[in-house]
């Protein structure tokens, strides 16, 4: 199979779909890899490093989209890329389609087969291709919050960990998944006072054991949510419903009751955000203020540390990418976890949560794929 890797064109996105090490694996499997010149510049990988790994270099993204049987990216295709996708072509990348109806329509019209990293599952019910970026984003969330709390950045001038004689900041983490755990770890390490909210009692028990009493766990009822959010200096939105829009846990009226100068880091912004006042921002202009609350809603947080992020992502995606390259759509039929990752195929919605979020008809992955293979 010819596997293509275009340069990411989303603003301030420096990650790359395949590292040179990953390219070697694809070539070892007998595949041809075509990578756009300069695609690896953000991680310090020059074209020569890709040539040494066995890749061919393309001058333009147009050449890659025109030739590739499978396109491997990091972020969702941008509007200029939608028309370049075609029927029978596999797209393997993060998509986050639920809050993005325009992209959804663009992929449906293209006829491509779009497999989303964020909905591929594992035997334990986890999201193995989302997890590494969730780990990065969770850790970055506290760095972002710490910076936003500083007076020169417009914050109240609060140090997350405090100092002897001065209390630390209070951090409320909404969601006890991968993002939440790593955000809490960073907050605890910095000396903050930390609470984690979740609606799963078994999960709260796990978190209590994991942190050994160093964090306060709370059930995410309306009362519990308000109690923690209103007293917090930092709120980290770490909720996730795979393939669907994030629930709006923080309403506009709630902002008026939060601490003036409090920071909301909405890591769920890729799925629409968990606050009614959240909208996507960029690394160039990461924050804005609503009702005295500082919002940090960068939609590609791990893009700020592309070297770490690209290698972590490739470690996770490589086995699935190789399966797709080796067997094409038959790999999806053979693996229910890859099938969970299929969001769009030949103009059809093939993920139930996406169908529910968009109001479009749902076709089961195997039904859609078998119909295509039979044709």
> Which 3-state string (H, E, C) describes 348-375?
EECCHHHHHHHCCCECCHHHHHHHHHHC
HSE-CB at 25 with a 13 A cutoff on CA atoms is 16
What the block records as the tokens of 160 is 């997350």
Residue 175 DSSP class: -
* Ramachandran category for residue 98: left, alpha or beta (phi over 0 → left; psi -120 to 50 → alpha): alpha
> In this structure, how many other beta carbons lie within 10 angstroms of the beta carbon of residue 190?
19
How far, in Å, CA of 115 to CA of 112, rounded? 10
In order, the DSSP letters of 300-352 are TGGGGSHHHHHHHHHHHHHHHHHHHHHHTTHHHHH-HHHHHHEEEETTEE--H
Q: What is the CA radius of gyration of the chain?
A: 21
HSE-CB at 181 with a 13 A cutoff on CA atoms is 15
Are the CB atoms for 354 and 243 separated by under 8 Å? yes
Query: How far from 61 is each of 34, 44, 51, 90, 155, CA to CA, in Å?
Result: 10, 19, 17, 16, 41
- Which residue has tokens 């028309």? 83
What the block records as the tokens of 96 is 């986050």
Name the residues annotated as catalytic. 96, 270
């Amino acid at each position: 199979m010819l596997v293509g890797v275009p340069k990411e064109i989303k603003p301030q996105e420096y990650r790359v779909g395949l590292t040179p090490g990953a390219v070697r694996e694809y070539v070892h499997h007998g595949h041809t890899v075509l990578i756009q010149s300069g695609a690896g510049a953000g991680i310090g990988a020059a074209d020569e490093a890709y040539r040494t790994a066995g890749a061919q270099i393309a001058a333009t993204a147009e050449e890659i989209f025109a030739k590739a049987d499978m396109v491997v990216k990091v972020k969702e295709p941008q509007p200029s890329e939608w028309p370049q996708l075609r029927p029978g072509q596999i797209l393997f990348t993060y998509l986050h389609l639920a809050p993005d109806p325009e992209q959804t329509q663009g992929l449906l019209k293209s006829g491509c087969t779009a497999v989303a990293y964020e909905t591929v599952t594992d035997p334990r019910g986890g999201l193995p291709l989302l997890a590494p970026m969730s780990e990065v984003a969770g850790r970055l969330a506290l760095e972002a919050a710490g910076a936003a709390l500083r007076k020169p950045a417009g914050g109240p001038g609060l140090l997350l960990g405090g100092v002897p004689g001065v209390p630390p900041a209070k951090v409320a983490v909404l969601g006890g998944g991968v993002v939440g755990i790593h955000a809490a770890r960073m907050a605890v390490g910095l000396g903050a006072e930390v609470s984690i909210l979740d609606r799963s009692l078994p999960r709260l028990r796990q978190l209590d054991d994991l942190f050994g009493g160093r964090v306060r766990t709370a059930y995410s009822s309306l009362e519990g949510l308000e109690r923690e959010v209103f007293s917090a200096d930092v709120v980290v939105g770490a909720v996730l419903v795979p393939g669907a829009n994030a629930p709006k846990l923080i309403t506009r009226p709630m902002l008026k009751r939060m601490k003036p100068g409090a920071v909301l880091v909405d890591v769920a912004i890729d799925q629409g955000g968990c606050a009614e006042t959240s909208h996507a921002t960029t690394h160039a202009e990461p924050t804005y203020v609503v009702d005295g609350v500082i919002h940090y809603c960068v939609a590609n947080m791990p893009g700020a540390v592309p070297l770490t992020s690209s290698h972590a992502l490739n470690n996770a995606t490589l086995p699935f990418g190789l399966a797709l390259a080796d067997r094409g759509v038959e790999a999806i039929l053979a693996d229910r976890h890859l099938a969970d990752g299929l969001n769009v195929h030949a103009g059809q919605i093939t993920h139930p949560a996406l169908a529910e979020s968009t109001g479009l008809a749902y076709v089961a992955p195997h039904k859609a794929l078998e119909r295509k293979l039979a044709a």
